Amino acid sequence: MKLKIINPNTTQSMTDKIGQCARAVAMPDTQIVAVSPRMGPASIESHYDEALSVPGILDEVLLGEQEHVDGYVIACFGDPGLYAAREVARGPVIGIAEAAMHAASMIGTSFSVVTTLARTCNIAWHLAERYGMKRFCRNVRASDLPVLELERPGSDARRIITEACRVALAEDQSDCIVLGCAGMTDLCAEISDATGAPVIDGVSCAVKMAEALVSLRLSTSKRGDWARPLPKAYTGLLAQYALG
Amino acid sequence: MKLKIINPNTTQSMTDKIGQCARAVAMPDTQIVAVSPRMGPASIESHYDEALSVPGILDEVLLGEQEHVDGYVIACFGDPGLYAAREVARGPVIGIAEAAMHAASMIGTSFSVVTTLARTCNIAWHLAERYGMKRFCRNVRASDLPVLELERPGSDARRIITEACRVALAEDQSDCIVLGCAGMTDLCAEISDATGAPVIDGVSCAVKMAEALVSLRLSTSKRGDWARPLPKAYTGLLAQYALG
Amino acid sequence: MKLKIINPNTTQSMTDKIGQCARAVAMPDTQIVAVSPRMGPASIESHYDEALSVPGILDEVLLGEQEHVDGYVIACFGDPGLYAAREVARGPVIGIAEAAMHAASMIGTSFSVVTTLARTCNIAWHLAERYGMKRFCRNVRASDLPVLELERPGSDARRIITEACRVALAEDQSDCIVLGCAGMTDLCAEISDATGAPVIDGVSCAVKMAEALVSLRLSTSKRGDWARPLPKAYTGLLAQYALG
Amino acid sequence: MKLKIINPNTTQSMTDKIGQCARAVAMPDTQIVAVSPRMGPASIESHYDEALSVPGILDEVLLGEQEHVDGYVIACFGDPGLYAAREVARGPVIGIAEAAMHAASMIGTSFSVVTTLARTCNIAWHLAERYGMKRFCRNVRASDLPVLELERPGSDARRIITEACRVALAEDQSDCIVLGCAGMTDLCAEISDATGAPVIDGVSCAVKMAEALVSLRLSTSKRGDWARPLPKAYTGLLAQYALG
Amino acid sequence: MKLKIINPNTTQSMTDKIGQCARAVAMPDTQIVAVSPRMGPASIESHYDEALSVPGILDEVLLGEQEHVDGYVIACFGDPGLYAAREVARGPVIGIAEAAMHAASMIGTSFSVVTTLARTCNIAWHLAERYGMKRFCRNVRASDLPVLELERPGSDARRIITEACRVALAEDQSDCIVLGCAGMTDLCAEISDATGAPVIDGVSCAVKMAEALVSLRLSTSKRGDWARPLPKAYTGLLAQYALG
Amino acid sequence: MKLKIINPNTTQSMTDKIGQCARAVAMPDTQIVAVSPRMGPASIESHYDEALSVPGILDEVLLGEQEHVDGYVIACFGDPGLYAAREVARGPVIGIAEAAMHAASMIGTSFSVVTTLARTCNIAWHLAERYGMKRFCRNVRASDLPVLELERPGSDARRIITEACRVALAEDQSDCIVLGCAGMTDLCAEISDATGAPVIDGVSCAVKMAEALVSLRLSTSKRGDWARPLPKAYTGLLAQYALG
């Protein structure tokens, strides 16, 4: 099967890393295509960034439909554009926060999210509520690292995040850690070793979840909210988004 | 004070109607500016439409900041882009679903929302939850009218919506009705007369709420989530959205 | 329009202060009448005091109906008698806790309440739940000041409350502060300046909310719970409360 | 032990009936004193009636403290003044809605409340929430009988309520029935026989609950909200309520 | 009446203590039979232990039905097998966590549970949710004592638990304490004296609750979930559990 | 990898069917071992049956640990013994209700469960709450078929369940169907074809979920509730369950 992993920001080094981690867990016959959108923000650290990442994500999904993609992963912990993407994709679409939180709830009674900037914590709480995972989420903790610091060679990110995970496990008395940014995907095994606790990376979880749904021939129900959008006029900069 | 009412779709007749209704309830010294964005969908009837209306809304807010706007109203019942707009506006930003639901909760123990297409009902439920208004919301009912049918001269919309409100009051045993689309703003008084129940229009409520907050010198807290977004690169079609 | 602000306790200095703050934010053509009831407790600091403030509040509402009052504000943070008052008033009735919490939820993702004695914190939590505002309320904090200490010239109340607000913002990581007593209404601007955070006073919010609802011709729905009470015999001390 | 059963309305025939039912289930050495207050409404069918029944209830509790009462039951399904009464009583105070709902939750997975007028249904829902019993409450159903119709010789109340219970069991698929008015206390056994389902009367449940707590030497905690009210001035009609 | 108190573990000294405490609060004409099951774990400190205590509990209930038992108490704070027992018993079945939490909610606005090992805290939280008591439960605190340490002559358990209760009252600002293990039943009065707060023991509460329900002729509804199980084949070690 | 699918009842024909469906969706290198326990009920249709199925399940997990099993599926829609099994298994353990509900929440905004007897509906609701899936679950509907009717050659089960699914989709307006019994696993594709809606079978979902977790090297956290049980004495019929 063919899975498209959309990193909603335009930072190619992060996209490459995400693609690599996705391939590492995919089944042998799964083809992973990892992309950044053709437009949008270099990183997502606000509602503003998140909202403006969505046109680029939808552009990639519309392209993906022509490329015979079987399933999609949206690889940003805010799961931007998830519902809109489901409306236009034939196959399943999974968000990495969604996949990570669901997985966490099956291996522990509680989890803590460790994310980047404090201002994004509420977004994670909102998703936990939307997915029904609030009862498992003991805390969402910021490491105060900007997203792109994770990409800077020589940064201290690895140490800071590991330490934030340690504190989370001790203070929140959580059973496991959910990494709250796609850019942390490569730290998963290392932090698990360092802390002795299960550490959950949304990118790899979402790949397995998408594979599972595609294998089971389960895709977005088109009976309700997520039916294909009605055709209508789109104007200005976004005229290209009009659906036939 | 100067309030900007942003109709997130590009249908000018609806924008005109919204502006008119806003002016009818505004204080004498309030200047109402009602606009449609320079880009985006002709109507909003899906998550896809909603997501793609946001760049146009944010464009109008960024313009508004240069135009010395004191407060904003987002005049679509899905309250698209509300949080992103709050991050970039100095003054308060109010969504019409938000304003209508809050007002309803102060004059009744319960309300029913009467909206357009069934596929948008979940969006209203989601907002009711987000605003804490789920406990007051007895039902969200679709009239099965597309948004633009409300703009078509000679359409049967008026009768159909009035009837849907009647049924809602009888079957849901709700205390009042919340109209679930900005395009219904002009029907408010009429349906209230026809049903004998309070009927709440989000556009006029949001205007009064925005006036109230501006009068009280209360605006979006910049201490947390809704602080101004960090400056960063934006590329492609959306390059113009990079903040200084 | 004519708004009656009922301070449910019998302390006239507090009533005067409340009236003054209400007038400062009212529209030019709004007439503010601020009163204390003809009976009841000097301050409200328990369920007992609260319950026994209600006959005096209802007395003022019944009088108000003869005085052609357009809307009412109940100016005690426990919102005593709110639903009973709605049953007998023609116009809208707003509680100050209700108004403050709703306003807070439109300008921040979270608020902390700073109130007087610890024993009243649960009342505030109960109201937050009733109004759907629990999801925004991070904490209710007592300053351990009795209500009337706010009225005592030379008291240290101003400093103590400002400090409690500072601590709330730091420890609760809330976006804004809700002042939890009508007697703090005059401290609002000062504490906002001192802390740099939005500080919300229920008295002024409730005045604007009542003005908004009266302007919109929205009043308590009489379809359900809050219909006018049935006529019946009342005996003893309370015989005067029998409705015609 | 000595239990005081306070029927918050002034209708003596109902008080007599309540006293009789209380005595029928009390332990041999329990002394039941059933009273109506010296002031207040003839029946309680609104928030207004309920609020104005509280001074009479508190008067009886203050008297009861001098009469060496060990525990109290508030015998109106709205549990009026429950928290205020707890503040001034040494022994436990139990509401009949509270007792009935708790008992129901221990013998079934769900219950339906059958009450009098539709306008009081919300009060029952509110109590269900307050006591944590909302998850067990499938429905609150009005029989559309005014409270005093239950006292009128020759009324059809018995038949109407039995029928409402039958419908509740069938339509709500509830495990048991909670009778939603103290005036129904004498119908409990009969309706249980007629429907074959457990039917729960709050008066008798509250008597047993009060007996249990007194036997266990458990009474209202005075550590928090329900500590004795602070002494303060009371004026006007209610001057007598000032506590020493 | 005849009540059977089932201590789900096989430790006879605990069963004896439980029986003694039950007898101390029972009505004069209540016969208390306290038993340990004929099979199962010596103490219950995990989901595994809890699950494997249930066959022994059900065995005792099936025996009890032949012994003309009128009501049952399951005397382990996890309330194991409560619903299964209700299916096969004619009379009411009460769990000690259930009884204690309900009682606590009638004498305080909040409680803290003090239990044995940290790994059982989640079980208590889960029960608090199931019974609707989560809103009253401020905290569940472990004393880190294994269950059987409570039975060891010369152990320091008494002091450690009293201290844990003190800390709970101070830090959680709870109104009262719920003892989270049947083995603590004899400490109730002493800790109440030491802390000055109401301390609630589930064993004695459950006895009074069972007495109350039996007196009121209220028993498990057989209309729904808790109807008698259908007859069917049981094989292997558990063949004896097949119902006729 | 080696997955053990435990059908908690002792009906071999159902176990065979479950094994077949599991193998049909498993990855080529996954070895599926499907078993019935050595003891317990022929079908699970009550809390009593469910509780008594758990010793048999745990027996199979303890055996599985010696058989080098990598992950487990508990194939009964009540997910009996799930938490106890997690305490004693090294690899992940997944319940079929858990897996089906999680999958449903990723492909639709709502689902209806169609199950066997009405008396088990509450069990499904309870699981939906436990897993955080209540917000997605619109209804749990009984088909009124006993479990073993699904195994009877010539039964009308297939038609009855398909019809119940049709009704669920129409009346609940759900996006998809969750089959509420492991014995329905073979009907999944057929009902999906007949109704045109996604139909979700827990057995196949749980297999894919277990495969995913094993692939990701994620297993039950041993930091909290689900740590290995402490060693202790077990007596009587269950003496064999004592852990070393």
* DSSP codes, B174-203: -SEEEE-SGGGGGGHHHHHHHHSS-EE-HH
What whole-number distance in Å separates Cα of residue E198 and Cα of residue F182?
48
Spatial separation of the C-alpha atoms in residues D121 and B191, rounded to whole Å: 27
Separation between Cα atoms, residue E162 and residue E114, nearest integer Å: 9
Contacts of E233 in chain F (CB under 8 A): 10, 41-42
F75 with F7: CB under 8 angstroms? yes
D18/D84 same-domain check: yes
Q: Does B128 touch chain A (CB under 8 A)?
A: no
Residues F193 and F106 in one domain: yes
pLDDT in tens, E151-187: 899 999 999 999 999 999 999 999 999 999 999 999 9
Taking chain D (244 residues) in runs of 10, the rounded mean pLDDT of each run is 98 96 97 98 97 98 98 98 98 98 98 96 97 98 93 92 97 97 94 97 98 98 95 96 92
pLDDT at site E198: 98
Report the amino acid identity of residue F194: A
D149 contacts: CB under 8 Å, gap ≥ 6: D116, D155, D157
SS3 F196: coil
Q: What pLDDT is stored for residue E124 in this prediction?
A: 97
Mean pLDDT over all residues of chain E?
A: 97
Q: What are the start-end ranges of the E strands in D109-184? A: 111-115, 137-142, 176-179
* Residue from the list A92, A200, A212 with its beta carbon closest to the beta carbon of F209: A212
Phi, psi of C206 (to 5 degrees): -70, -35
- Whether chain A lies against chain D with 3 or more Cβ pairs closer than 8 A is no
Residue with tokens 């209708």, as numbered in its chain = D11
Q: How confident is the model at residue F244 (pLDDT cuts 50, 70, 90)?
A: confident
Q: Do C173 and B224 touch (CB under 8 A)?
A: yes
Are E235 and F48 within 8 A, CB to CB? no
Distances (CA, A) of C117 to A162, C23, C144: 42, 28, 4
Is the predicted pLDDT of residue C33 greater than 90, yes or no?
yes
Could you tell me if D64 and D72 are in contact, meaning their C-beta atoms sit under 8 angstroms apart? Answer: yes
Distance CA B200, CA A70 (A): 45
Q: Are E2 and E31 in contact (CB under 8 A)?
A: yes
pLDDT tens figures, C54-95? 999 999 999 999 999 999 999 999 999 999 999 999 999 999
**Residue A40: enclosing H or E segment and its boundaries?**
strand A40-41
Q: φ and ψ at B94, to 5 degrees? A: -125, 135
Same domain flag for E101 and E219: no
Residues paired with C3 in a beta bridge:
C32, C71
- What count of CB pairs under 8 Å joins B to C? 128
A144 touching chain B per CB within 8 A: no
CB C117 within 8 A of CB C146: yes
Contact between chains at F87 and E47 (C-beta distance less than 8 A): yes
Q: What does the alpha-carbon distance between residue F210 and residue E194 come to, in Å, rounded to a whole number?
A: 51
Cβ atoms of A53 and A174 closer than 8 Å: no
CB contact, 8 Å: D217 with chain C? no
So what's the pLDDT on residue D243? 94
D188-237: per-residue pLDDT in tens?
999 999 999 999 999 999 999 999 999 999 999 999 899 999 999 999 99
Q: Which residue has the tokens 């295509």?
A: A33
**What's phi and psi for C116, nearest 5 deg?**
-90, -95
Tokens coding E227: 């109807």
Q: Do C127 and C195 share a domain, yes or no?
A: yes
3-state secondary structure at position A199: strand
**Cα D184 to chain centroid, rounded:** 11
Interchain contact A191–F (C-beta under 8 A): no
Evaluate whether D188 touches D196 at the Cβ level (below 8 Å): no
Question: Inter-chain contact D131–E132, Cβ cutoff 8 Å?
Answer: yes
Q: Which of E228, E210, E206 is nearest to E69 (CA)?
A: E210
CB within 8 Å: B102 and C106: yes
Structure tokens at B1: 């004070």
Percent of chain E whose pLDDT exceeds 90: 97
Q: Which of F51, F87, F121 sits opposite E48 (nearest CB)?
A: F87
Task: Report the residue from B42, B51, B121 with minimal CB separation from A233.
Answer: B42
Helix (H, G, I), strand (E, B) or coil at A68: coil
Q: What is the mean pLDDT of residues E19-37?
A: 97
Q: Judging by DSSP bridges, how do beta strands C31-35 and C2-6 pair with one another? A: parallel
3-class DSSP state for residue A200? Answer: strand
Looking at chain F, which residue has its C-alpha nearest residue E39? F236
Q: Does B60 touch chain A (CB under 8 A)?
A: no
Q: Which residues contact A127 (CB under 8 A, 6 or more apart)?
A: A78, A79, A95, A97, A98, A101, A133
Long-range CB pairs of E184-192 (<8 Å, 24+ gap) are: E184/E114, E184/E150, E185/E17, E185/E18, E185/E21, E186/E17, E186/E20, E186/E21, E187/E158, E187/E161, E187/E162, E188/E21, E190/E158, E190/E162, E191/E161, E191/E162, E191/E165
Residues of chain F contacting residue E49, judged by C-beta atoms under 8 Å apart: 229, 232
**What ipTM is given for this predicted complex?**
0.97
Kind of pairing, strands B40-41 and A234-235?
A: antiparallel
Q: Is F193 exposed, middle or buried (0-12, 13-18, 19+ CB in 10 A)?
A: exposed
Instruction: Name the pLDDT band for A23 (thresholds 50, 70, 90).
Output: very high
Tokens of C19: 């009236």
Please count the residue pairs, one from chain A and one from chain F, whose beta carbons lie less than 8 angstroms apart.
128
Domain tally, chain A? 2
Q: Inter-chain contact E221–D176, Cβ cutoff 8 Å? A: yes
E50-94: pLDDT as tens digits: 999 999 999 999 999 999 999 999 999 999 999 999 999 999 999
**Do A235 and A156 belong to one domain?**
no
Could you tell me the two tokens for E141? 């605190």
Query: What sign has the CA pseudo-torsion B223, B228, B233, B236?
Result: positive
Percent of chain C, pLDDT > 70? 100
**d(C-alpha C224, C-alpha B175), whole Å:** 6
SS3 sequence of C127-180: HHHHCCCCCCEEEEEECCCCHHHHCCCCCCHHHHHHHHHHHHHHHHCCCEEEEC
Q: Same domain for B45 and B124?
A: no
Q: Does the pLDDT of residue F158 top 90, yes or no? A: yes
Q: Given CB atoms, is F212 within the 8 Å cutoff of chain E?
A: no
Whether the CB-CB separation of F221 and F227 falls below 8 Å is answered with no
- What is the residue whose two structure tokens read 């022509």? A66
Q: Domain range spanning residue F112?
A: 97-202
Q: What average pLDDT does this structure show over F151-167?
A: 94
Residue carrying structure tokens 């020759």: D154
- Give me chain B's average pLDDT, please: 97
Residue E66's pLDDT is 97
Q: Does A166 touch chain F (CB under 8 A)?
A: no
| Same domain flag for E182 and E223 | no
d(CA C76, CA C183): 8
Tell me how far apart the alpha carbons of residues B77 and A226 are, in angstroms, rounded to a whole number.
Answer: 18
Q: C117 with C196, same domain?
A: yes
Report which of residues F202 and D225 the model is more confident about. F202
Please report all neighbours of F, defined by 3+ CB atom pairs within 8 A. A, E
D108: its two tokens: 């079934």
* Structure confidence at residue E201 (pLDDT): 97
Alpha-carbon radius of gyration of chain D: 17
Other C-beta atoms closer than 10 Å to the C-beta of C135 total 18
Please provide residue F225's backbone torsions phi and psi, each rounded to the nearest 5 degrees.
-45, -35
pLDDT confidence band for A244 (50 / 70 / 90): confident
- How many CB atoms are located within 10 Å of the residue C15 CB? 21
Q: Residue B164 in contact with residue B143, Cβ under 8 Å?
A: yes
**Closest by alpha carbon to F33, among F169, F207, F224, F201?**
F207
- The rounded percent of chain A whose pLDDT value lies above 90 is 97
Contact (CB<8Å) E224/D27: no
Interchain CB distance below 8 Å, B106 and C102: yes
- Residue C187 sits in the same domain as residue C128: yes
Same-domain pairing of F87 and F134: no
Tokens, residue C192: 């906002």
Mean pLDDT across the stretch C173-187?
95
C28 at interface of B, judged by CB pairs closer than 8 A: no
CB contact (8 A) between residue D54 and residue C51: yes
Give the domain CATH number at A170: 3.40.50.12500
| Alpha-carbon distance B25 to nearest alpha carbon in chain A (angstroms) | 31
d(CA D126, CA D51): 15
* Residues across chain D: 244
Q: CA B105, CA B135: separation in Å to the nearest integer?
A: 9
Does position E244 have pLDDT exceeding 90, yes or no?
no
Shared domain check, F195 and F213: no
**Distant-in-sequence, close-in-space partners of B92: CB < 8 Å, separation ≥ 6:** B71, B72, B210, B213, B214, B218, B219, B220, C106, C107
Q: Is B122 on the interface with A (CB under 8 A)?
A: yes
Chain D residue closest to C9 (CA)? Answer: D234
Q: Let me know whether C158 and C215 are in one domain.
A: no
Residue in chain E nearest F38 by alpha carbon: E236
| B207 min Cα distance to partner chain C (Å) | 9
Q: Is the pLDDT of residue F26 over 90?
A: yes
